[in-house]
Amino acid sequence: MKNLMLHKKKILLYTLLTICCLFSLLFVYNDYNFYKETIVKVTTVQIVKKEKITDYYKNNDILYTQVLTGKILNGALKGKTVELKNQYSYSGAADNQYKAGDKLFVSLDNTSINANKNDSSASAISGTINGLKRDTYLVFMAVLFTVFIIAVGKKKGLFSLFSLIFNIVLFSLVMDLYLKGINLLLVCSIVVIVFTVFSLILVGGYNQKTFTAVISTLLGTFLTLIIAYIVMKVTNEKGVRYEEMQFLTHPPHEIFMAEILVGCLGAVMDVCITISSSIYELCETNPSLSSKALMDSGREIGKDIMGTMTNVLFFAYVSGGIPMLLIYLKNGFQTGYSFYMNLSLELIRALTGSIGIVLAIPLSLFTTVFVQQKFKKRSGLTR
């Protein structure tokens, strides 16, 4: 009877989620009237010009001119035909190619609107393209992610999703507080504690395993930050290229330290919850395992995940610098100089995060085994 009730609840939950996902997709596909900007659906595309161009550094590119015809989907001119001109390059770095079916935000030309009002035989309304309407694709990706995470993780997947949404909201609040003049590193330090406690409790539940993961995550993250701070102070930050932050009106050092703190958290949390879960799983399977056996097993697990996690961190950070690196190399800068200018911050972030991963292994191991053995002694399970 109990299983039947649980089964019914699951079916109800999945049905509600499916309805929510379908409704979200249907809504964003037809939400034109909720926008103040004019939205145009492209019906036909014609390329009217194609020319080869060469820039100052002798880089070759091709410039296309296309004429788009579309229909207005909202506002007082709904249903009217619009003609738009768009230029895009083959490289597509700062422009976009549009195709039939795309929905665009457009600023309409008032002169052509007035001409159409006075003369029904006038040519189509013209305007300027402001950008592509992407909300349908974004919601589709969000729905896809929701389906995958719940299908694979079931209840834990759903809680992971809630945790992610909460962290995104909290992170946006941090940005607001920073813009109001509050010290970013201080706010991030507080938020990191909230992130850790909330995320791990939501995913792992309120239990001893989560408690040890929280303790070791916070120890590992803040210890890594202290090490990074000391090293940067001792070296006087030589070799750290802050050029990409030059547009900010605040000292880049504080922002960079906050970046290290938040970036390190994810990797350290992952390692700590993995070690903690593994140790508790071993204890449940074989409660008679000694502390030494648990430490040895935990150490082997740590060695296995250490290499992959540091590589993940390295590639995640370095991949962000690839576009600028390619631009430097393509424009004739020396390889060493290009790497130095574009990857110095990324490499420091990756290296610091890797230190956090390595530190997290013994910290989580000792914390978990210590707490677990204390619990066994209290329960009288230790031989």
What are the pLDDT digits (tens) for 283-314? 888 888 888 888 888 888 888 888 888 888 88
The enclosing domain of 43 has a CATH number of 2.40.50
Does the pLDDT at position 134 exceed 80? Answer: yes
Residues 224 and 323 in one domain: yes
Q: For residue 266, what are the CA distances in angstroms to 111, 240, 319, 340? A: 54, 23, 17, 26
User: For residue 41, what pLDDT is reported?
Assistant: 93
User: pLDDT for 182-218, tens place per residue?
Assistant: 888 888 889 889 988 988 888 778 888 888 999 999 9
The verdict on residue 195 lying in a domain is: yes
Provide the domain limits for residue 308. Answer: 183-379
More confident residue, 374 or 116: 374
Q: How confident is the model at residue 98 (pLDDT cuts 50, 70, 90)?
A: very high
Residues 199 and 248 in one domain: yes
Burial of 19: CB neighbours in 10 Å, binned 0-12, 13-18, 19+? exposed
Does the pLDDT at position 166 exceed 90? Answer: no
Residues 312 and 201 in one domain: yes
The verdict on residue 119 lying in a domain is: no
Residues 14 and 105 in one domain: no
Contact by Cβ (8 Å): 186, 179? no
Q: What is the mean pLDDT of residues 14-38?
A: 87
d(CA 84, CA 101): 14
Residues 240 and 345 in one domain: yes
Q: What is the pTM of this model?
A: 0.73
Residues 6 and 41 in one domain: no
User: For residue 2, what pLDDT is reported?
Assistant: 63
Residues 194 and 82 in one domain: no
CA atoms within 13 A of residue 63's CA, in its CB half-sphere: 10
Residues 101 and 239 in one domain: no
Three-state secondary structure call for residue 362: helix
d(CA 347, CA 240): 10
